Amino acid sequence: MSDSRIQNAALRGKIMAADDAAAFINPGDNVGVSGFTGSGHPKAVPQALARRIAAAAGRGETFRVGVWTGASTSPELDGALFKVNGVSMRLPYQSDPDCRNRINAGEANYTDVHLSHVAQNAAWGHYGKLGVALIEVVAILEDGRLVPSTSIGNNPTWLDLADRVILEVNAAQSARLEGMHDIYSVALPPRRQPIPLAAPADRIGDPYLRVDPKKVVAVVETDCFDRDNKFSAPDENSRLIAGHILDFLQYEVKKGRIPPTLLPLQSGVGNIANAVMAGLDDGPFNDLTAYTEVLQDGMLDMIRSGKLVCASATAVSLSARALGDLFANIDEYRKSIILRPQEVSNHPEIIRRLGTISMNGMLEADIYGNVNSTHVLGSKMMNGLGGSGDFARNAYLSIFMTPSTAKNGALSCIVPMVSHVDHTEHDVQVLVTEHGLADLRGLAPRQRARLVIDRCADPRFRPALDDYLARAEKSANGKQTPHLLGEAFDWHLRALRGEAM
């Protein structure tokens, strides 16, 4: 397939096996890899690198690298490298079990960053030097331009910053992805200019990635599909949460605060998010748009049904079934899907301008509306912040949603005080559980608490939350945000002892 997929003669001369390519990665290198929520990540070289690392370990040598990605990847990348404990530092988002375990065992440093900040922070040198860029593409044109894959993430930045570049050309990805991407690079201060994007469908860049061919040390051919991002059918709680959000959006439209076509949608990943999309697909709104991070099955369904006229994202993260549909009908889908660098898909300037309706999951919220998206019981990292902060802070509506309880009802997801804060009371406007929706806009903390307990908490936990609030209002040192610091975490301490909250 080299002939059709790798048109550039010089780069065709660099084709080699994954194990030979991995030899260009040295101990201590930082490696900037492609990949965003299980799509568009390199499939072969990371596993070859893991073999090198294991071999070095066999010789008693330490071989570890820093791994910078777009977001989460897959077993072939994070899984393979963390299994051999080959990663010293990882950023900015992960969801692989081996990766998570190393982080929480204290065996790897994990820097959790707003996804929109990664590219500029790397360019400013905050993360050190980037040795290697390892990027999956679907084709290399004759003039050396690169056709991006199913995600873009930080690829333009990695290609710019790296000393050496390794390209994986994946024949399993449709070559007709060509033209779906819009690569726009944001300058660094003091040379930044307004980003000329005023609607999700606007194209402001060009469809190809560019790389200095002299930096390319290896080209590796692969033929392997993205991770099968399966979804379970929406459960009852997800359907109830979706229903509350739809009712609320209808109310906002009725009030004239948002147009009948709504405002651009941003939706986090996961089953609840997918259920909300399913609800919107059956709902009363038409000509919808999305300005989001990841396009999942739910949004693809909405494009197919005609409900969603345009979706801008940085990655398509689909089930195998949906990916097959995307590739089979890609000339149609290309009219409605734009993939951008994550610095643009998550850019505060654009999100604030468009006024997105942002819907993100969470681990827990407290009665005052602070949200914990990342840390289980205060200390243990789950997946990371992702883009939730980029969107929540600048959206027209920042909605956070979760079932009201976890662990078969033993744990309340509404607590007196969250054990870690990722989104402050200032950035959380709406909380939703299966029991209801709390619209916190414009309310003072004690008003928020009343609403969060009555609308969102599981009824079995409401009396205890009421009791905490009532006693805090009586005895706290100030009544703006009454807390009892001596027992604010008692609920989490019970959970840590394996008891119900």
Task: Pick the closer one to a second copy by CB: 4 or 480.
Answer: 480
Q: If 0-12 CB within 10 Å is exposed, 13-18 middle and 19+ buried, where does residue 209 land?
A: buried
DSSP character string of 450-475: HHHHHHTS-TTTHHHHHHHHHHHHHH
Pairing of strands 357-361, 265-267: parallel
φ and ψ of 10, to 5 deg: -60, -45
Quote the least distance from Cβ 266 to a second copy, whole Å: 13
SS (H, E, C) 16-73: CCHHHHHCCCCCCCEEEECCECCECCCCCHHHHHHHHHHHHHHCCCCCCEEEECCCCC
Task: Pick the closer one to a second copy by CB: 58 or 196.
Answer: 196
Task: Pick the closer one to a second copy by CB: 76 or 366.
Answer: 366
DSSP state of 411: E
Task: Pick the closer one to a second copy by CB: 246 or 381.
Answer: 381
Quote the least distance from Cβ 168 to a second copy, whole Å: 27
Task: Pick the closer one to a second copy by CB: 88 or 271.
Answer: 88
Task: Pick the closer one to a second copy by CB: 110 or 327.
Answer: 110
Beta bridge partners, 397, equal: 357
The active-site residue, picked from 168, 293, 343, 434, is 293
* Tokens describing residue 386: 């992702």
DSSP character string of 419-458: SS-SB-GGG--EEEETTEEEE-TT--HHHHHHHHHHHTS-
Quote the least distance from Cβ 389 to a second copy, whole Å: 6
Quote the least distance from Cβ 418 to a second copy, whole Å: 9
The reply to whether 293 belongs to the active site is yes
Quote the least distance from Cβ 305 to a second copy, whole Å: 22
* Tokens describing residue 458: 């599981």
Q: What share of the chain is helix, strand, coil (3-state, %, to 5)?
A: 35, 20, 45
Quote the least distance from Cβ 393 to a second copy, whole Å: 6
Nearest to 313 by CA among 332, 297, 324, 328: 297
* Residues annotated as catalytic (active site), given as ranges: 293
